[in-house]
Structure 1
Amino acid sequence: MVHVYNCHPFASQQIVQAEQEPGLVCCGGGVLFVESAGGCKIEAFQLEAEGCPLICRFATMGTVQSILHSEIGVRKEGLAGHLDQDDFFIFPKHQELLGDRAKDCGVKVSLEWTGMESEARGILAITYILYRRFAPDFFQGCTVEDTRLHSLQFHPVFTSEGVEPTCVFCFFSLPNTGYVYSVRGGVEMVSVYQYPEKAQQAVLTDLFLHIITKNALQCFSVRCSAVAARAEDPYIDTTMKACPPITMEVCALRIQLFIGLKALCHDRHHIVLLTAADVETREDTERAARRNLNRKSSSTKHRDPIEMSRGWNLYVVNTVPPLQLYNEMVEYSKKYEETNPLSQSCLHLLSEAHLLLRATLLDPRVGNPELQKAFQESCAHLGDCFSRFDKRDCHLALPYYKMSGLSVTEVISRNRCLSSSPCGYGKGFLFFLKHSLYEETMEELTEETANEVLDIFGVAEPSQLPHVIASPSMVRASPDSGLAHLERLESIGAPSVPLTLSKAALALRMGDLQLYRQHMDRHTEMLQVYGFIEEHKLLLHGRGHTVVPTPLAHHLRDSQEGLLVAAMVALHENNKVKLDEADLFFQVRLCGNLSGPQGGPQLMVDFWEALLMASSQEAVIQELLFRLTSVYIDRVTRRDSQGMKPLKTADDLINSCSHYGVPYPWVSILTPDHFSIIQDHQEDLQKLQSLLCGPTLDVSSILPLLEQLPDGDNAGLSVHLLCATKLDCHESSIERLLDRCPQAIIPYANHELQNDKMVGTTLWWQKLFPELCERTRAAGGENTILLSALKETLVVVAMELNPLEFLDLLPDDGTAHFFLPHLLECSQRNLMT
């Protein structure tokens, strides 16, 4: 045992007035059961009452060998013990088998049905959880007695009112060593106890391990609460929460002298001890008698051993309330801290105090606000310890300070004394401060505290200054002081892009636009985008619904919107910002006070278009296509000319983004470039048509959006026809084009009907040819557009059909002379093939 402390876990004690000398003792449910030595009688005493008054006495059917307490009553065993035998043993080596492997131990166990109705034969089973074999090393002076086991105990730990325990522990002990295993959810060793002297009996509780030796009651710390905390809370051992490790070395908290200890049992906050003076053996008596024969004193009267009696006592020792013991351990730790602030003993004792409170709070019956307050205080003490460390565990300052409920300002105040120490601020404190500044939930620091933080990092970690200045918690820091620190940082090392951007942001806060422009002109826009990726808080603060643009973002909106959009696209692609957060950033926070076009601010639409070019995530692409289509349709429908000029024209998007396609030739006939539509939304119409002509957009997903777009003009008609064509509704599209824009029918047929050899080609003579014949006849042959379209259709039909099929298509209205040239061409082509 490395750590031995002199704490006081034991409080008052009282003597139980038993009628006869106790043999066996057992307690539970607030009651102490005492068996009279060598008799068949048991006495029950009330532990909770003053003086432990007698409750009752009752007789047993035979000699009591052992006595145990259970929830349904007292269980007595009257079986005779095993006879001692002198056998020859071969001791094999040490062996440990855990879990399912324990079945291979070679020890067979069988169950015998007792006949009780509550024990159905079908549900009885045996589960092997642990097999451990100890072998004495005779060459090292060990004896068989050193491997004798005692105090086997299963100890459940409940953290809720449910019937299932959170953890179950198995404890057993050798004379010099005790072992604790966790046996729920896998079997593993938790702790090993090395006793300073031979133990006679041990009891494991939620808070302590109590053992008795010949002349002492000893109290050890346990790790049950550390195991239970990790089983109950998955966030233990993260940056959010922490708990002392299960593997932390146990310690002895108290060694209390008691003469002649014989038995030990425990119930709640009571420890029952049986003490008795040793009786002289027959050999000791005969030896003393021989010595007395040599004495000349005739007044010596020899006593018969039967007449000799021994003194005994039955004690009830009350344990100290956990909160009182915690306060003592904290005060004790201060002695180590005064000697050496980096003392491991100080950390160890504070960790033991923390586990003591955690074990108490895990009990669902405990709801003391003072305990919760003390628990937060213990977290603060542990945070102070780890904040001073420069070792690998210094990062634990962060979760412990978080669990303490202290603000960052309070933590800075607790560590301010370290600034004057030779070693300066510890790595643990800097780790906590750095991560707290990078988080979005930290409070805004006052100007004084923020400037102090700048001074801390200016001395301890100047390379972190650009990131510290960009933190939303540092908005009240003096820009002059921050700029001075950055100038010193730049003078001692190579300038970085985030550093230059941070200086530009501070110059903007100072109102010095000339200095701002000077810093911004030092790097190209591409390098500035990389700088924003490295420190995105220069553009926005917060996450989720709390995202807020910085003053630099507002300035870029008015002066370099292209850089702002490119930076936001880069942040999205590098998982620095989500799509919904970017929408909130542009639509509400950044451009909410600006009058913009319908469907959202133009800057947000520019961001969507730029992100569509850059993104490779299918889900994001489909979402962007839907949003952009919705915006384009809304703008074409409303024809509101207000808004900013887009960063990308339709031609730019067609040339740089594969999701935008070149508009089909027949679409250009429907809506030429000089089409009579407001110029701002001529671009929106062309972008919408390009998306519909592209390979990616799923037309079926935007059909509900088309309901708001009328097809009364060619702009709306072109969109409706594109969607219908994408859905292979060619027949209705042919009819609508012939009704509204017959000059586009041949380009439509050449583009759409030729692409589908199975269905589209037949539409030339099954749908288009009859429609043109009928409409030309109805127009009296004077519609030159229809006549021209009919002639071009006949050229295609003559190439695709044989003469007999061609003849079947000809109308019987006496106009055969019009079709004869095409019939002759069809025949000649057929003869050649």
Structure 2
Amino acid sequence: MVRLYNLHPFGSQRVVPCEREPARFCCGRDVLFVAGTAASCRVEAFALGDQGSCEPLGSFATLGPVLRMAHSQAGDYLVTIEEKSKATFLRAYVNWRCMSAGSSRVCVRMVGHKMEESYSETLKEQMSIVEMPLSDPPLCISCCPVSGDLLVGCKNKLVVFCLKYLVINQNLTVLDFERSLILHIDNLIPAEVAFCARHVAVTTELDVLILKLELVQQSADRTEQCAYSVSTLEKPVDGGAKDEGPSTLTSQLELDEFIICQKPVELLGEESKLCEIPITLESTELPTEDTKRFQVQYLLFSEKLQCFTVRCSAAAARDEDPYIDTTVKESANKVLQIFCVADPVQLPHILCSSCMTNVCPLTAVKYLQRVEKVMPSVVLTLTKAFMALKMGDLTMYEHEMDSYKEINSCSHFGLIFPWVTSIMSASSPSDKGYHEDISKLQSLLCSQSINVASVLPVLEPLMEAGNVGLAIRVLCSTRLGKHEEAIEQLLERCPDVAVLYAQHELKDDNRAVDKYLKYHWVTNPADNSDFF
């Protein structure tokens, strides 16, 4: 059998022999670190030259196998996550270059350990290993290239260690670290972290979150608390009501009455707060006049279901055919075929992914019917109904929806707002045939049982459907607190309802009502002569 491999044409390459089998590596500006396998527990260092040379500098022992490691140019230290006896340890190797000069002396000390001058004089000629204990196992690390500060990712938290330069005397300055800040983030298991100039990036299996730590003016009150809650979930909306938190959202998504299939989203700037990830900052520095206080600014939140689909389908494909080229992102129909065999329960969720937009609805229905014979469910039936709508088969849609009439008889519906009824009174006759379904959807959006931000991608196709789409669009804007945007939409499409909307939604803010209605009356007097 002939196997083909992709080759990348580099300008040059140099093969460097290692004394031990390599398992991990990382690079600095002029140095390469190679960690051996569990059998060796050593790290080898190589100097990188301008002409492509790579000369060995020496090696040093580690506590156990290296799981992660990174080099910081600022401070010239190597930080590692190591494992021993099923426990993980965070260690920084400082002054490691003395090993290349033939010195074998090593000092192991705890972070923040106060060093006496007489003892510290010996640090000039020896490598120091700084142990940094954590309450939770470290999962990933990153060094700031500007300051040399260290970011450590743990379950449900990110820990910041500041790099300190301790002046022992005029001839000796040593490096140390101080745990200065903890970012508590609910339901977070970081896969990778990055840290640069107070910008923090964290990725999980499916999400990316980028934050900026902003310095805030220190209070004159020395007793101020060190914890800051920056969750946007408690922002008052709709006259003081509070939006749903993560625990509420989780319970919503577990309800059996309806299903929410989210598309990949990317939120920038202020909109990234809609990710609804609460973050609390805890300062752990000893309070002094120079102690810094931070607050968080959200920069980006990106959610990839799509990546999940591609990753899972690629893994399933490799199980079926180890030599399959999974770099071509498996046609949509091929993905269905793979998942129907490998993980049929995922089919409804796969079909709602944005990467499956071009899937053949008829093919999808055939696969769904095949799975339904073995494991029927409400989710499968709803997905079949969705595919029927894509095909324009209203008979099939009604048949599927009639199969589970009790999915809409739940207690999560709200009273439809009067201005919604006014919009719908002008609906076209073609909308009357779906009056029940439309009313149920509007009732859900009028209630507090559904998180609007999470279902926006699903509702987008409906927002252009005449007055039905207008009602849905204005409802979504209202639930997100965007009342100005909602009024603009009504003034453009259905001005008679704008007054009723303002009276209902903005009854406590008369100035906002006057501002927007008068503005539109001045700019469009012919259309709005009956307003005042």
Q: Normalising TM by the smaller chain, what interval?
A: 0.3 to 0.5
Query: Comparing both structures, which one devotes a greater share of its residues to helix?
Result: 1
- TM-score scaled to structure 1, two decimals? 0.26
Q: Which has the higher contact order (CA 8 A, sep 6+)?
A: 2
Higher strand share: 2
The alignment's TM-score, normalised by the length of structure 2, stands at 0.37
